[in-house]
Amino acid sequence: MVYRSQSYWKTGTTLAVRAALGGLPIGGRVVLDKDRAATVAIARDLEMSITNKNHMMTVPSDGKVVKRYPISMGKASTPSWSGQFVIMNRLPATVFDTLDARARVDIASR
């Protein structure tokens, strides 16, 4: 399950989730045995901001910039946009393969 709130939770906020899954059939003859629950606390404030103009990612934490990284983005004919993004997955390395380019990238995120 993925859930994104409309605004960011403050550091230290506690979240409790309960999923009533006990008895739910999930395919074939498999049935979940019990409900599930989890409680988590929101850690430090950590966001990533992307700027297409200078191809940089800025990482602030608790109001202070902790790191800046050069990044690759779209080309002039198919530009990317600036703003805040959600990291969907992280890989130690991957190969980006498009119609006009192929490159091995270390520490890839999309």
* SS3 assignment, position 25: strand
DSSP H/E element including 49: strand 49-51
What global pTM score does this model have?
Answer: 0.51
12-53 pLDDT, tens per residue?
999 999 999 999 998 888 999 999 999 999 888 877 888 888
End-to-end CA distance of the chain: 19
Helices (H), 1-110: none
Q: How confident is the model at residue 105 (pLDDT cuts 50, 70, 90)?
A: low
Specify which residues 61 forms β-bridges with: 46, 64
Question: What is the residue-averaged pLDDT of the chain?
Answer: 82
